Amino acid sequence: MSGAATLRVEGLGMSFGGLKAVDQVNLDIPAGKVTALIGPNGAGKTTFFNVVAGFHAPTSGKVFLDDQDVTGLPPHKMARLGVARTFQTTQLFPGAPVMDNVIVGRRLHTRSNVFDAVFRSRRHRREEDESRERALEELEFVGARDLADVLVASISQEARKRVAIALALATEPRVLLLDEPAAGINPHETEGLTDLIRSVAVERGVTVCLVEHKMRMVMDLSDHVAVLNYGKMIAEGPPAEIRNNPEVIDAYLGAEHDA
C-alpha cells in the first residue's frame, strides 16, 4: 500500500438543508500529479475536501481510491488508507514544540497502548524512536528541521504551513489534500512553498490536490485544474486551457476584476 493513488469521485453531491454545496461533481484526480481545485469563495471547494477526506458523508455519489469504494468512511480510516489533508488554518498545537506536533502523524503506524506507556515497554521505546526519526526526516524534507524544538507559537506563518505539510507527510499518504496551503503568506514565500508542493508530487510520488486562490501559484504548479462554481464543476483541463476559458473568467477571474 504505497505509491500514488488515483482519487475519483462520481456524481458527488453534498447538501446542507436546501443548499447544494457540492452538486453532481465528477472528477478524476490522477495519480502522482498536482490537481488544483479553484473557484470563487463559497464555490464548495472546502466542502468537496471535507467529503473526500471523510469529514462529511456525501448525500449522493461515490468516492473511489484507486478502485476501492471509500464513500462515507470516517477521516481516520481515510488517513489509514492513505488520504491525508491539511486545513486552511493549520490547526497545529501552538503550545507544543514543532516536533511533538509532527510526531502525531506517526500514530497510525504505531501500536503502543496504555500498558506499553506505563511499563515503558520495548515496543514503546522502539516506536517512539522510529516515530521521532521519521518526523525529523519529514521536517528535513519541508525545510523545517531546525525548528524541531521550537514552539509552534513562535514560528512564522510560512513555517507553520510547512510543518502542517510535514505532519501530513508523516502519515505516509498516497493522496495529499491541501486546503489553501499558501493563504496568508507573501509572494516570495509562496514561491518556496510551490517548490515544496511540487517536490511532494515529483520526489515523493504523492498525488496532490489543492484548493488555492493564488492564481499564479495554481498555474505554475498544477498539471490539471478543475473549476467549481456554486457547487457545480464548470470546467476542467490543463492550466493554459482554464486560463482562457470564458466561463471561468466570467465566474471567477471576472468577478475578481470587478472587485
Q: Which residues in this chain contact another protein in the complex, by CB under 8 A?
A: 53-55, 74-76, 79-80, 84-87, 91-93, 96, 100, 103-108, 110, 112-114, 116-118, 120, 124, 127-128, 131, 167-168, 170-171
Using CA atoms in the order 20, 21, 26, 28, what is the torsion angle rounded to 10 degrees?
A: -170
Q: Report in angstroms how near the CB of residue 125 gets to another protein at its nearest.
A: 10
Residue number with CB closer to another protein (24 or 121):
121
Residue number with CB closer to another protein (120 or 216):
120
Residue number with CB closer to another protein (45 or 106):
106
Q: Report in angstroms how near the CB of residue 251 gets to another protein at its nearest.
A: 29
Q: Give the burial class of 183: count Cβ atoms within 10 A of its Cβ; 0-12 exposed, 13-18 middle, 19 or more buried.
A: middle
Residue number with CB closer to another protein (96 or 253):
96
Check if the beta carbon of residue 225 is closer than 8 Å to that of residue 238.
yes
Q: Report in angstroms how near the CB of residue 88 gets to another protein at its nearest.
A: 11
Q: Which of 166, 243, 153, 228 is nearest to 197 (CA)?
A: 166
Q: Report in angstroms how near the CB of residue 50 gets to another protein at its nearest.
A: 9
Residue number with CB closer to another protein (62 or 80):
80
Q: Report in angstroms how near the CB of residue 257 gets to another protein at its nearest.
A: 35
In the chain, which ranges are continuous DSSP H helix?
Answer: 45-52, 75-81, 98-103, 114-118, 122-141, 157-170, 187-202, 215-221, 239-243, 246-248, 254-258
Residue number with CB closer to another protein (135 or 248):
135
Cell of 205: 510520488
Rounded distance between C-alpha atoms, residue 60 and residue 172, angstroms: 29
Check if the beta carbon of residue 81 is closer than 8 Å to that of residue 73.
yes
Q: Report in angstroms how near the CB of residue 6 gets to another protein at its nearest.
A: 20
What does the DSSP 8-state code read for residue 151? Answer: B
